[in-house]
């Protein structure tokens, strides 16, 4: 559901299986990286 919540895909794409589980995994990995990078940037800004 994270890719749907993030606006990367519509919910219907999950329901009708127009995307694969590999696609969902890739999007989840991308969202994890975005979150990690945002945390690192925030910590860097606080130190500056």
Domain range summary for the chain, segments of one domain joined by +: 2-47
In this structure, how many other beta carbons lie within 10 angstroms of the beta carbon of residue 37?
A: 10
Q: Tokens at residue 30, please?
A: 């991308």
- Residue 19, SS3 per DSSP: coil
pTM of the predicted protein model = 0.84
In this predicted model, what pLDDT tens digit does every residue of 5-21 receive, in sequence order? 999 999 999 999 999 99
| CA atoms of 19 and 29, how far apart (whole Å) | 15
The pLDDT score that the predictor gives to residue 48 is 80
């Amino acid at each position: 559901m994270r890719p749907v919540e993030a606006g990367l895909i519509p919910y219907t794409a999950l329901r009708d299986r127009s995307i694969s589980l590999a696609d969902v995994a890739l999007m989840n990995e991308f969202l994890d990286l975005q979150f990690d990078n945002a945390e690192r940037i925030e910590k860097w800004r606080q130190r500056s």
